[in-house]
Amino acid sequence: MTRTPPPAHPRDPLGWTALLVALFAVLAGWKLTTPSQPFFDEVHYLPAARALLDLSRIANPEHPPLGKLLLAGGMALFGDNPLGWRVMPWAAGVLTLWAFTRALWFASLSRFASLTGGVLAVAGFPLLVQARIAMLDVFMLAGVACAAWLCAAAMREPERARWRLALAGVALGCAMAAKWNAIPVAVLPGLAFAAVRLRACGWHGLVTRRGPPVANIRLAEAALWLGLVPLATYAACYLPYWFVEVAPLRGWAGLVAWHGEMLALQHQILPPHPYGSRWWEWVLDWRAIWYLYEPVDGAQRGVLLVGNPLVHLPALPALAWCLWAGLRGRADALAVAVLYGASMALWMVTAKNVQFFYHYSLPGLFATAALALALDAWWQRGWRSVLAVPVGALLLLAWFWPVLTAGALDGPDGFRRYAWVRGWI
């Protein structure tokens, strides 16, 4: 009589994940204070953070407050200097990588997908660049990544689901309060919970605790954690606006009216920008942004925001594979494809006339997850040659390192080593 072997339980790569994230923390923090002067959109967000720090007025009113509050917190802790400006984005970038890698683990239960996804996120360029500049996008990325991690973990470990879903709701609210780009993604966890429960249980799913995606959580409770908590968290981030000296908000009606003003500012017609681009140019990795290119701190320096071609471009067929695999029943692949589509749809229909490559930061993170899942599918079939993708991406990271971290270049024409196509100039 033959014995049935025990089921395989893949080992959690927690230690390797911690090592990868620690390495990224060192790399992203290397010479974080260079350049020593504000550059690119820091010239907008740092004054807004200072205004919140002393509660003088509401500055940079077109964006929600959380990112600016966190920048102000960095300056309160470390001073109004380059370290104080950038320490919070650095911390948010490190948190984003940790949460992104843990989300991949809980979603796929694949060590290869989780660790490869983390390597690709590090080598993909945008996360590194955004973690080193005082802008708002990296705070949004951290909120979304944390929500994805907590939701995926709640589904895998229902006994810990309640507090994880509650924290996921807080993370979603923080993501929206950092930048509105997160809104199309933030509504999906609650909708997905309802869709999966009702599909599995029919109308009985409205009241039962049983059934997927998370047992012992009723639909009404999920609506609390993934619907009301995000909204309450988002609203709470505006509380400092009630206490500014000039034109403070007055009551909840004032908050609602303020959102009308924010929306009008978002839709205002702006003059064309030299680095303006459209969503299809982001997808094709065609239009980059030089955040910095000038003599500063004793040398010619540059900071280039662009996608690593060995991550950015292979991610496109990987997204198609995720959609195909998802429609055939693979939930993690379907989730990645839907999240990418939702985050891109905003930019396909928005009335905002000036757009930039950094708006692809969130869709690009989902595209990186898609590439990790697709490579994992080949890895599980024995195709060890897929390692060429993360290895090649790391080699390109090393090549582009000077223009990702404001390193010293070889003079005014130093950019030519990195501007591989016309759209990268």
| pLDDT of amino acid 205 | 66
Task: Tell me whether residue 345 is in a domain.
Answer: yes
The overall average pLDDT reported for the chain is 94
Query: What pLDDT, on a 0 to 100 scale, did the predictor assign at position 212?
Result: 87
Q: Please report which confidence band the pLDDT of residue 266 belongs to, taking 50, 70 and 90 as the band edges.
A: confident
Does 6 reside within a domain?
Answer: no
Q: What is the pTM of this model?
A: 0.95
Mean of the pLDDT values across residues 145-158? 97
> What's the pLDDT band for 277 if we cut at 50, 70, 90?
confident
254 within some domain: yes
With 0-12 / 13-18 / 19 or more C-beta atoms within 10 angstroms meaning exposed / middle / buried, residue 319 is buried
**Which residue range is the domain that position 253 belongs to?**
14-267+277-424
Q: Determine the Cα–Cα distance for residues 319 and 336; give it in Å rounded to an integer.
A: 8
Q: Is 293 helix (H, G, I), strand (E, B) or coil?
A: strand
Would you say residue 1 lies in a domain? no
Determine, yes or no, domain membership for 135.
Answer: yes
CA 321, CA 377: separation in Å to the nearest integer? Answer: 10
Comparing 68-82, 248-262, 272-286, 343-357, which segment has the lowest mean pLDDT? 343-357
The pLDDT tens digits for 231-247 are 999 999 999 999 999 98
Q: How far apart are CA 181 and CA 130, in angstroms?
A: 15
- The pLDDT value recorded for residue 351 is 64
At residue 425 the predicted structure's pLDDT band, cuts being 50, 70 and 90, is confident
Predicted confidence band of residue 128 (pLDDT cuts 50, 70, 90): very high
The whole-number pLDDT of residue 1 equals: 40
Q: How many domains does the chain have?
A: 1
Q: Is residue 2 part of a domain?
A: no
> Exposed, middle or buried, 38 (CB in 10 Å: 0-12/13-18/19+)?
middle
pLDDT in tens, 1-36: 445 444 457 899 999 999 999 999 999 999 999 999
Domain for residue 82, yes or no? Answer: yes
Assess if residue 288 is contained within a domain: yes
Determine what percent of the chain is predicted with pLDDT higher than 70. 97
Evaluate if residue 70 carries a pLDDT over 80. Answer: yes
Segment 188-194 mean pLDDT:
95
Cα–Cα separations (whole angstroms), residue 168 to 103, 137, 144, 309:
12, 19, 9, 32
Is a pLDDT exceeding 60 seen at residue 223? yes
The confidence score (pLDDT) of residue 6 equals 47
Q: What pLDDT score was predicted for residue 234?
A: 98
